[in-house]
Amino acid sequence: MDTYNQAIELIKNSKYTIVFTGAGISKESGIPAFRDEGGLWNKYDPKILELSYYINNTEESWKVVKNIFYDFFIQAKPNPAHKVLAEWEKQGIVKSIITQNIDSLHQKAGSNNVIEFHGTNSSFVCLECNATFKTEALEFSDNVPLCNICNFKLKPNFIFFGEAIPVKASQQSLAETQNAELVIIIGTTGEVYPAAYIPYEAKQNGAKILEINPEKSNFSDSITDVMIQEKAGIALTKLNELLKSIQ
């Protein structure tokens, strides 16, 4: 049986399917990933995303953070992969998405139960008084955005290196790994912890693993049961058509 039919069997036999996504699912929306060819960490020094660096060199760091995570990301649109997952949530096939991405494309595609493990670019937080502001409420310039309550500098509400995972996201993700019968891993190298623990945790709890990625990842030869080596948009469109053909 080919990998697509094996994948369909896993999806059909699972009563509780969760999805774990990384930057690869947004590549077909034009957003570069981090570690693959042309990835962001080949162009920029990851130190710009260290919290201490942002606090101590805010003007310099903000220009790069704005260029990468706002000027470009904000105009990105969900691609067929995001849309299929949103359709599967409506059909009850997918219970939740745990994403490492901060681009809000799952929500823009219509997914509701999205756990943003690394936070989001859709809001900012004040480094002094902790007030939060919706990104679209801020006027954007090369100047560091300031809190309109205490006038201190704001930080994007996604986590920088050295920052803790949002507690609620961490707790919700753990709970999902306890319920999951199938984890669909899409577009991630599995390089970054603690996010990368999530599929391992679910596997420990008896879940099957379906992986979609044109390249092998850290999961592929360790916990993946079925691997579709294909781009997310193509693979999910094909799986969706196969599922419809047997319903």
Q: Which is nearer to ligand APR, 154 or 159 (CB)?
A: 159
Q: Which is nearer to ligand APR, 35 or 63 (CB)?
A: 35
Long-range contacts of 200-205 (CB under 8 A, 24+ apart): 201/174, 201/177, 202/18, 202/176, 202/177, 205/177, 205/178, 205/180
Q: Out of 27, 66, 83, 118, which one is annotated catalytic?
A: 118
Task: Provide the 3-class DSSP secondary structure of residue 102.
Answer: coil
**Cβ proximity of 81 and 186 under 8 Å:** yes
Per-residue CA distances from 224 to 35, 193, 204 (Å): 20, 18, 12
> Which of 22, 78, 80, 156: binder of ligand APR (CB under 6 A)?
22
Report helix, strand and coil shares of the chain as percent, to nearest 5: 45, 20, 40
Chain-centroid distance, C-alpha 51: 20
**Cβ proximity of 222 and 196 under 8 Å:** no
- If binding means CB under 6 A, how many residues of this protein chain bind ligand APR? 26
118 is known as an active-site residue: yes
By CB under 6 A, which span of 29-37, 61-69, 89-97, 140-148 interacts with ligand APR?
A: 29-37
Using rule CB under 6 A, residue 213 touches ligand APR? yes
Contact string 62-101 vs ligand APR (x = CB under 6 A): --------------------------------------x-
CA distance 29 to 158: 20
Using rule CB under 6 A, residue 231 touches ligand APR? yes
By CB under 6 A, which span of 11-19, 23-31, 122-130, 136-144 interacts with ligand APR?
A: 23-31
Site of interaction with ligand APR (CB under 6 A): 22-25, 27-28, 33-36, 39, 100, 118, 186-189, 191-192, 212-215, 217, 231-232
